[in-house]
Amino acid sequence: MSGRRGRQPGPRLSWLLCCSALLSPAAGYVIVSSVSWAVTNEVDEELDSASTEEALPALLEDSGSIWQRSFPASAHEEDAHLPPPEGTARARPPPAPPGMFSYRREGSARLRPGTARFLAHASAWGCLATVSAHEKIPGLPFGNCLLVSDGPSNNSTGVPFFYVTPKDLLVADLMKKPTASLLLPESEGEFCRKNIVDPEDPRCARLTLTGQMVAVSPEEVEFAKQAMFSRHPVMRKWPRQYEWFFMKMKIEHIWLQKWYGGVADISREDYFKAVPRKA
């Protein structure tokens, strides 16, 4: 009897048959960089003529499904910036993926005071930090968000005014130690909202004013009313039993974070003579 007549299939053939059986239910899928998309009848013909890695994500995108556009691995290759080999045509650079934004560049130092004044005038609120006088946390930093105004919309002074009550813990702190720090962020501004910039991103400007908080003098109360009530009309209706009164900050130091590279220290002279300039 010949030894070949009863020979069983070799291990290689068995492995191929096994893979074929396992992969048969996967018909109708295209595998690109280990990611699969369901292929509908409408795109079968297009896939035959445009089945490159660059074209597949666009062809297979379904705006009505949970799938979102993916980007090919070539867009993230580490050597994508290297020049092509000699004798080959240089490929066109791929378009920038959606969701990327172009950002302004940092301006010169002479423009920073104007940006600081703009933030001081455009800000409707700020975070005021004091040195706590509370018995449980004496001497520790304590902060709260307050409405603020440096003047009516047509009259920027650069000096932040506040409408406060003695019942506020911040005011109790200030009565014992008037030193305070005021943060005015650009996070609510047009640039940060339009470009979806995180408030902590250096491109989203932040102004910090430090100084002494004082009660507004009787001679200046009328201007303080115009400054606060014109920007925050609801304040007129706040309950009178809370003994509201006006305070302002006598600025000693101005710090502006506008771009990468650290915080700029702006002199009081440059700050107060500057014209508000959009950040």
Confidence at residue 278, expressed as pLDDT on a 0 to 100 scale: 77
> In the block, which residue shows the tokens 């809370």?
242
Confidence at residue 63, expressed as pLDDT on a 0 to 100 scale: 36
> In the block, which residue shows the tokens 């690109």?
32
d(CA 77, CA 62): 26
Evaluate if pTM is beyond 0.85.
Answer: no
Q: Torsions phi, psi of 274, nearest 5?
A: -75, 155
Spell out the SS3 assignment of the chain: CCCCCCCCCCHHHHHHHHHHHHHHHHCCEEEECCEEEECCHHHHHHHHHCCCCCCHHHHHCCCCCCCCCCCCHHHHCCCCCCCCCCCCCCCCCCCCCCCCCCCCCCCCHHHHHHHHHHHHHHCCEEEEEEECCCCCCCCCEEEEEEECECCCCCCCCCCCEEEECCCCHHHHHHHHCCEEEEEEECCCCHHHHHCCCCCCCCCCCEEEEEEEEEECCHHHHHHHHHHHHHHCHHHHHCCHHHCCEEEEEEEEEEEEECCCCCCEEECHHHHHHCCCCCC
Confidence at residue 40, expressed as pLDDT on a 0 to 100 scale: 46
> What are the structural domains, with CATH classification, of the chain?
106-273 (2.30.110.10)
Confidence at residue 17, expressed as pLDDT on a 0 to 100 scale: 55
Taking residue 202's Cβ as centre, other Cβ atoms within 10 Å add up to 16
Confidence at residue 87, expressed as pLDDT on a 0 to 100 scale: 61
Confidence at residue 187, expressed as pLDDT on a 0 to 100 scale: 74
**Could you read off the pLDDT tens digit of each residue along the chain, which spans 279 residues?**
444 455 555 655 556 555 555 555 444 443 333 333 344 444 444 444 444 444 334 433 333 333 334 444 444 444 445 565 566 555 565 555 554 444 444 456 788 999 999 999 999 999 999 999 999 999 999 999 999 999 999 999 999 999 999 999 999 999 999 999 999 998 766 667 777 777 777 788 899 999 999 999 999 999 999 999 999 999 999 999 999 999 999 999 999 998 887 889 999 999 999 999 875
